Amino acid sequence: MLFRDRREAGRLLGQLLAKRTWNRPIVLGLPRGGVPVAIEVADAIGADVDIVVSRKIGAPFNPELALGAVDVNGVAVIDNRALRVYGVTEEYLKQKIQAAATEARRRAAEYRGQRPMPSLAGRDVILVDDGIATGHTLLSAGRSLAGQGASLLCIAAPVCPADVVPRLENSVDLVLVLRQPSDFGSVGQFYMDFSQLTDADVRQMLEDAWASRQEPDT
């Protein structure tokens, strides 16, 4: 099954999530690609929508190969096995963590502007991306929300490798995925249209979504 685009994937994922009962849910999309998926999910379950930013740390020889991820505060989730396998130096990792945290903060400011992060206390929080490869980015995003009082933390995505799901389940309360292929190569292979989104695209999507909803709790 191929998803036509991120919007369709979000609608289908939203149908899955709508089968459950949620407590004051808020859906947090990971920019860029997770945002249109998150908006559709939020519409399906009557939730608020916002963003959480986490940036991948790529390997020296292949930036697309994730060694881990870092949040806006510089808190990193690192795959120590990958570091050993690929001989990554401490200096390289330190530089990449700093650069990724800086970019995460830039993106958060670019997309949210002066809009405050909504309160998560006592709410079901659903982290959404357009797909999961290693899970580092979502786990980093989840870790960045620790201590904010969420009643439940869920990770949801249209597609995730079957062998990654158990690791995610060990880190959050709930994982909901439409497809768990054993032949996973990349997220893009499951989309007919996997066009790159710009910062302007994401900002406009969020502004439109926020304008159609009441202001979230702050």
Residue 172 in domain:
yes
Return d(Cα 204, Cα 187) in angstroms, integer: 24
- Are 150 and 52 in contact by the 8 Å Cβ rule? The answer is no
The answer to whether residues 172 and 141 touch, using CB atoms and an 8 Å cutoff, is: no
For residue 24, tell me if it sits in a domain: yes
Structural domain for 57, as ranges: 6-211
Q: Which residues pair with 29 in a beta bridge?
A: 51, 128
Check residue 84 and give its pLDDT. Answer: 87
User: Which CA distances in Å does 52 have to 30, 58, 62, 144, 206?
Assistant: 6, 19, 25, 9, 12
Question: Could you tell me the two tokens for 52?
Answer: 């959480």
Q: How far apart are CA 182 and CA 161, in angstroms?
A: 6
Whether the CB-CB separation of 138 and 34 falls below 8 Å is answered with no
Residue-level pLDDT at 214: 59
Whose tokens are 């997220």? That residue is 187
Please indicate, yes or no, if residue 1 is contained in any of the structural domains: no
pLDDT of the residue at 213: 79
Check residue 1 and give its pLDDT: 79
CA distance 11 to 19: 13
Listed in sequence order, the DSSP H helices in the chain are: 6-17, 34-45, 80-86, 90-112, 136-144, 165-169, 199-211
216: in domain:
no
pLDDT along the chain (218 residues), means of 10: 96 98 98 97 97 91 84 90 87 94 94 91 98 93 92 98 95 97 93 96 96 64
What is the rounded CA–CA span in Å between residue 128 and residue 52?
Answer: 9
152-159 and 76-78 beta bridge pairing: unpaired
Determine, yes or no, domain membership for 121: yes
Q: pTM of the entire structure?
A: 0.91
In a domain, 217, yes or no: no
Give the CATH number for residue 101. 3.40.50.2020
Per the domain annotation, does 124 fall within a domain?
A: yes
* Residue 93, both tokens: 């990792």
Quick one: pLDDT at residue 44? 98
Tally of domains in the chain: 1
Predicted pLDDT of residue 218: 43
Task: Tell me how far apart the alpha carbons of residues 52 and 140 are, in angstroms, rounded to a whole number.
Answer: 10
Kind and range of the H or E run holding 126: strand 124-128
pLDDT reported for residue 216: 46
